[in-house]
Structure formats: C-alpha cells, structure tokens
C-alpha cells in the first residue's frame, strides 16, 4: 500500500512506516499531522487509482533540521566581481503512520514506528562543593629546546685603493 502526496511544492511516494523529509511545516505542528492533498493511491503493486475526497495520510513529526550547505557563487569575468553565499534549506522530518482510503485504514507496524523523543541537551558539568578541579597544563617530559644561535654579521670587504 502506498500513496502519492503533495506538500511544499513537491510530490512524495509514501507507504506506512516511511520517514521522509518535507519542506518545513508550520511551526505550530507538533505530534501528528495530516496530509489532505493526496494525488494517487495504490492498494496492490502495479495498480494505481486516483484519490478521492475521503483519502488522508497521517504522519508523526519526528523533528526539524537544516539540510547540507549549498554554496551559491556569482561571478562576472573581466569585472573583478565575485560573490559567495551559503544556503541551508530547513526541513521537517515526518514518519507516515497511516493511510486511510474509503473507510479502510492501512497502519504501520509498531516495530517500524520510531519514538519521537527530543534529543537530550548537553549539560555543563558543575563541580560539587567537595570537589576541586585544577586546569594545569600537562607537562612534557623530554629535552628542553635550545636557544637559537645568534646570527653572525658579515665583515665588510675593503676595496683596494687605486694609485
């Protein structure tokens, strides 16, 4: 079972349990989300039917992020014009949980569904009152560096006088 949905100006072929990255959804979307713009549905492999009004695709928001950096380089030859700019496209990662078609519901297996847990924030380690930490640099064992030798200045050559 799969469906073709449209969101963010792009079309995606999804099945229950799939994780896809779509263009960033509205910031208020937390938890579950429904895609109402379903273009096609297929219950069997090789058979595609046009989706009607009663077709919805449910998804769970897993998180948001930003894609890889794309460098945009503008250049005009012979004019000494160069401009470099970077861009990272924001996305929302969603997992398809259910496809509902004409009263039938196709759900993803519980084993496929990921738990939407936020990443734990890194906490600064605070030393307890009884503990003290010393931030002394580690000493190297070995030979010490020798001082650089002074440069010798070259003596001036004396020119022979002409008679």
For the chain, which residues make up each domain, given as ranges? 2-107
Instruction: Please say whether the beta carbons of 15 and 42 come within 8 A.
Output: no
How many DSSP H helices and E strands does the chain contain? 0, 11
Terminal alpha carbon distance of the chain: 112
Q: What is the pLDDT of residues 143-153, one digit of tens each?
A: 666 677 777 77
- What pLDDT is recorded for position 116? 46
Residues 6+ apart with CB under 8 A from 73: 82, 83, 84, 85
- Indicate whether 78 pLDDT > 90: yes
Residues ≥6 apart with Cβ < 8 Å to 131: none
pLDDT at 161: 73
Sign of the CA dihedral running 8, 14, 16, 18? negative
pTM of the model: 0.62
pLDDT at 3 over 70: yes
User: What does the block give as tokens for 102?
Assistant: 């004409």
Q: Between 29 and 4, where is the model more confident?
A: 4
């Amino acid at each position: 079972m799969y469906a073709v949905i449209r969101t963010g100006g792009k079309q995606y072929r999804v099945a229950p349990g799939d994780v896809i990255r779509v263009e960033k959804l509205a910031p208020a979307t937390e938890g579950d989300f429904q895609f109402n713009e379903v273009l096609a549905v297929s219950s069997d492999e090789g058979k595609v039917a046009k989706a009607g009004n009663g077709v919805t695709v449910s998804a769970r928001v897993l998180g948001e992020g930003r894609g890889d950096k794309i460098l945009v380089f503008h250049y005009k030859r012979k004019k000494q014009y160069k401009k470099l700019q970077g861009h990272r496209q924001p996305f929302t990662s969603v997992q398809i949980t259910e496809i509902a078609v004409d009263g039938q519901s196709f759900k993803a297996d519980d084993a496929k569904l990921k738990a939407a847990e936020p990443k734990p924030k890194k906490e600064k380690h605070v030393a307890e009152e009884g503990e003290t930490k010393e931030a002394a640099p580690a000493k190297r064992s070995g030979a010490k560096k020798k001082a650089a030798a002074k440069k010798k200045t070259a003596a001036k050559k004396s020119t022979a006088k002409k008679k």
